[in-house]
Amino acid sequence: AIGALCWNVPCAGKTLLVTSDGKIMPRIGYGYQSKRGELLAILAMASVSSENELRIDDLRGTVKDLVEWEQNSVRRGSDLSLTLFGLANYLGPDATWTNAAGETWSLDTIAAEELDRTAPVTDVAAVERLMGLSAYVVWARKNDVLRSGRPLQVERYVARFHDHALKLQSSEGTWGPHFFGYQASGGIDSRGSLNSTSNILLWLTMSLSDEQLHRPEMARAAAQVNNGLAAQLKRQRIETLSPQELSTTMVGLRAISEYDHRLFGFSDVHSEPDLEKSTSDGKSARITKR
């Protein structure tokens, strides 16, 4: 799927990438990105290298070109949540740049914009805003940025929202269909509840400390998403899902995967020894796990 996106393979007759003044840019609209920075955020979440190739017909580029496009396109007063998430995963500690309007920007500037921006608490936009701010906190820690000024301000804001989110969680481990709008009650009893719980679980698993992630509330949330996905796919085949249902399913699967990775880690298959299996003629066949 990542290869198809990066090589601009048509999907339902649509191609995601286009060129503008010889530069590669992703489209925004129905069937494309839902908002600015979404493709870069997806690539960052999938740990795609900045050297990974992008293709548009005979034109060749890399994810670096997409990073530069997003840097050039930042604008004040706009939703920069996914742009912040993507850039925080690809830029170093000293990155500053000038956008197309001639303004000087940095990740600190984007974080300040996102802190000042209001996102509706009853919508997934609130979670995306928190995802971007949390990625900024991770970026600051990874690059040993001093815990003062903007990094400390954002870190404290995210921590307060951690507490707020867990207070709104139901005893069964879910969040209501209106996200942070009110106290949830009951289990996964609607597609809306599965959507909100999947998105909030994904954000929490990517931003909580190891100690916090081991709390029973998180285990209950992961179990609810897992059971909700199983029930949904038992009722209908995945290819019959609507775009919203498919999006909920993908976010839920990613949340479960991230939770599993944080708690138990992925096995390093490359470090496993080769296995030898006896064949019917008594000879030894070497099998390498991939």
Q: H or E element: which one contains 40? A: helix 38-45
**What's the predicted TM-score (pTM) here?**
0.88
pLDDT of residue 26: 95
pLDDT of residue 273: 40
Name the nearest CA neighbour of 253 among 226, 234, 231, 227: 226
Structure tokens at 1: 């799927």
pLDDT of residue 249: 92
287 strand-pairing partners: 275
pLDDT of residue 266: 59
Residues 6+ apart with CB under 8 A from 205: 213, 218, 255, 258, 259, 262
Residue 277 Cα to chain centre, angstroms? 40
Helix ranges restricted to H, 143-190: 149-168
pLDDT of residue 23: 87
pLDDT of residue 187: 77
pLDDT of residue 147: 85
Q: Profile the chain (290 residues) by mean pLDDT over runs of 10 residues.
A: 94 92 91 94 96 94 96 96 98 94 97 96 96 97 90 96 96 94 81 91 96 96 95 81 88 95 70 41 37
pLDDT of residue 31: 87
Counting every residue, how long is the chain? 290
Contact by Cβ (8 Å): 226, 253: no
27 strand-pairing partners: none
Residue 146 Cα to chain centre, angstroms? 25
